[in-house]
Amino acid sequence: MSDYYEVLGVDRDASQDQIKKAYRKLARELHPDVAGPDAEDRFKDVGRAYEVLSNPEKRRSYDMGHDPSAPGGGMNGGGGFGFQDIFETFFGGGQTQRGPIPRSRRGQDALVRLDIDLSEAAFGVRRDIQVDTAVVCGTCSGSCCRPGTSPRTCDVCNGRGTVQRVARSFLGQVMTTAPCAACQGFGTTIPEPCAECSGEGRVRSRRTVSVEVPAGVETGNRIKLTSQGEVGPAGGPAGDLYFEIRERKHETFLRRGDDLHCTLEVPMTAAALGTVIELETLDGPESVDLRPGTQPDQVITLKNLGVGHLHGGGRGDINVHVEVQVPTSLSEEQAELLRQLAVLRGEERPEGRVAAAHPGVFSRLREKLTGR
């Protein structure tokens, strides 16, 4: 039976930290990929010694003269090669990456909110927007290295990005593959990182991006600019940049799809006699013709003066909702004139007429309750 303490070069009263430190040092020095095939037997001995001495129960048994790593010596209880390693080896749960991991990777997508006015949504607009994103480092051009230097092949894994380890288990001798801890699986190391980007190959920067907002967009729509997002690590390809539309409220018009709605308040005399009122639209002043006898809640439509259609030509309409204002206070002279009018119309004793509720009543009630 080998003296495991002597194999690791530690005293018999060595602590677990000292045993682990000694094992890691020897494992790096004696790994077959580093020291060559001649060191394979010593590498296995070091692994077997660590498997025993890193486990308190096995170490206690070993100190009493029994070698737990010998055939029939017992199952692995912790410190060395365990059930997880065995599962990974035989059932494919371990590292499947072949070769080194690329240091350069695609960057993340970026999302920016874009506030626009109703007129910009109706006709479309081109905007220049400043965005803060990651860009390629101007000092190292994405190499991650100080100018004049370059990545160095990892001394531990020889550029493969992975290392193999051999250990004993109740199934016998098995081998697993894991990412190299020295280079994090990249296969290369950066001995002299770029001071500007700290070895990232990218830096944060503010830049101006031009975005074309098409007519017909509305709140929640997103505009995608391909490869205009975050540059990836080591100068990797940029992700995409998205602009999410937020449409500001308009002081006059309420938008429903591509149609616009507004309310026109007129006195009852104007509704009865008719008149022409000028309305300021997105296209400029337009005349709204109220014919004599215009009724409350009547809708006057101005064709093709709404929002442009997002997917095709044409535009929506403007719907003018007429609200007739009934006076709440009259002078004696005004009241007398209305009484004379009522006599002339045979309405001096109006009885009224009960009819079914107009759908507009419920729509107005819903708007008041929901605010929409």
| Higher-pLDDT residue of 359, 45 | 45
Residue stretches of the annotated binding site for Zn(2+) = 137, 140, 154, 157, 180, 183, 194, 197
Please tell me whether residues 121 and 240 are part of one structural domain: yes
In a domain, 177, yes or no: no
In a domain, 54, yes or no: yes
| DSSP label of 50 | H
Residue stretches of the annotated binding site = 137, 140, 154, 157, 180, 183, 194, 197
In a domain, 293, yes or no: yes
Instruction: Flag whether pLDDT at 86 surpasses 60.
Output: no
Q: Would strands 241-247 and 110-116 be described as parallel, antiparallel, or unpaired?
A: parallel
In a domain, 97, yes or no: no
Domain of 311 in residue numbering reads as 254-370
Q: How many domains does the chain have?
A: 3
In a domain, 71, yes or no: yes
What span, in angstroms and rounded, lies between the C-alpha atoms of 228 and 209?
8
pLDDT tens per residue, range 349-368:
766 666 665 555 446 545 65
- Give strand ranges (E) for 34-106: none
Q: How far is CA 284 from CA 248, 287, 306, in A?
A: 19, 10, 12
* CB burial of residue 36 (10 Å; 0-12, 13-18, 19+): exposed
Q: Which of the given ranges, 38-42, 53-57, 88-92, 185-189, has the highest pLDDT on average?
A: 185-189
In a domain, 191, yes or no: yes
What span, in angstroms and rounded, lies between the C-alpha atoms of 301 and 102?
62
CA 66 to chain centre: 58
In a domain, 166, yes or no: no
pLDDT tens per residue, range 145-175:
999 999 999 999 999 999 887 766 555 667 7
> What is the rounded radius of gyration, in angstroms, for the C-alpha atoms of the chain?
41
Query: What integer pLDDT is reported at residue 346 of this predicted model?
Result: 83
Please tell me whether residues 271 and 198 are part of one structural domain: no
pTM of structure: 0.63
